[in-house]
Structure 1
Amino acid sequence: MAFKELGALLDAGLPLPIGGKTYTVPPPSAKTGLRVQNVMQAAATAAGGGKVSDAVLDDAAELDLYRDVLGTAYAEMIADGVKWPALKHCAMTAVAWIIQDEDAAERYWNSGGDPSQLAPNRATRRASSGTESSTRSRGSTSSTTRRQGKSGSGKKRPRRG
C-alpha cells in the first residue's frame, strides 16, 4: 500500500455558512497552526492561575490571530460587512478546527459558542451510548464506620482482672 498525497487529504478547508453565503477557511500554515497551539496553551495556563506573557493574549494579537486562522475568508468577511460576533464565532470555530478537528469545529459552530451546549447532558450521553438501564447499581458494600464500644470512644476498654 502506498501513501496518498497528503495535500489531497488535508487541503479541503472549512466551510462556514453565514447569511446565505458560505465562506471557506483555508487550511492554516504550519506557522499559524503552531501559533494557535501556543495561544491555546497560554490560555489554559492563565485559566489555571499560571503566569502568561501579556503579549501572547493582548487585543492586537487576538485580531491578528483571527485574521491568521480565517485566512482569505477574513478579508472576504470584512468586505461583506460580517458583524463582529459572527466574525469572532468563525475565528473560534477555525481555532477548534486547527487544534482538534472538523467534528470539534462543527460542534462549536452549532453550539453558537455556548460551552454548556458543547458537552451533551447525562441523559443524552446515556441514550447515545446504549448504557441506560432500569436496573439500579448496587451500593457500596464496604464500610468506613467503626463500631463503638459502650464508652462511645471506639476503643476497647481494658479488661479488669
Structure 2
Amino acid sequence: MTTFQELAAWPADVLNLPIVGRDGVARTYRIADLPAEDGLSVDRLMQRAARMSVAGQDDAVLLDDDEETALYRRVLGEEYGRLVAEVEPDEVRRAAHAVLCWLSSGHEAAMRFWRGEARV
C-alpha cells in the first residue's frame, strides 16, 4: 500500500531564484506556481518538445520569438516585468527555463538546471 506524505510536507508552490542584476545587486525573484490551465498548456509544450527531441529534431523551431516571449511572461508571472527591467536578457531566459523545469519535473530538476547540470 502506498502512503502519501502530508500535503504540508510537499515542496512549496513557489520557486525562489537568486539573480544578480545589471546593477550588480543580487535579488531573489519569487515565482509562483501557475494556474491549472496555464500549467496544462506548459505541460503540452514540454511533451511536444520531448517528442521532437526523441525524433532527433533538436534543432527544430518549437516557438517563434513572439511565442517564446509570451511563454516567458506566462511562466515568470508577476516577476516578469521586474526581471526584464533589472537583469540581462540571458538571465530572464535562464529563469524562465528553470521555471519550465520546475513545472514539468519538480524542484530537483530546476536545481539541476540552475546549477548547469541539466538543460531544457
TM over 0.5: yes
User: For residues 11-160 of structure 1, what are the structure 2 equivalents within 5 Å?
Assistant: 11-19=12-20, 20-47=26-53, 48-49=55-56, 57-80=63-86, 82-111=87-116, 117-118=117-118
- 3-state DSSP of counterpart to 1:32: helix
CA distance in 2, matches of 1:99, 1:30: 13
Gap regions ≥5 residues in structure 1:
112-116, 120-161
- 3-state DSSP of counterpart to 1:14: strand
What root-mean-square deviation, in Å, do the aligned CA atoms of Structure 1 and Structure 2 show?
2.6
CA distance in 2, matches of 1:103, 1:63: 25
Once the two structures are TM-superposed, the CA of residue 73 in structure 1 deviates from its matched residue by 1.2
1:133 counterpart residue number: none
**Quick check: which has more Rg, 1 or 2?**
1
Alignment: residue pair count? 106
Q: Deviations over 1:68-116 (max 9, x none)?
A: 1111111111232x111100000000000000111110110011xxxxx
Deviates most, 64-73 or 92-101: 64-73
Once the two structures are TM-superposed, the CA of residue 36 in structure 1 deviates from its matched residue by 1.1
CA distance in 1, matches of 2:78, 2:9: 19
CA distance in 2, matches of 1:42, 1:29: 20
Higher percent of residues as strand = 2
- 3-state DSSP of counterpart to 1:43: helix
State TM-score, norm by structure 1: 0.57
Gap regions ≥5 residues in structure 2:
21-25
- 3-state DSSP of counterpart to 2:115: helix
Higher percent of residues as helix = 2
User: Which protein, 1 or 2, shows the higher relative CO under an 8 Å CA cutoff with sep ≥ 6?
Assistant: 2
2:23 counterpart residue number: none
Q: Deviations over 1:105-140 (max 9, x none)?
A: 0110011xxxxx339xxxxxxxxxxxxxxxxxxxxx
State TM-score, norm by structure 2: 0.75
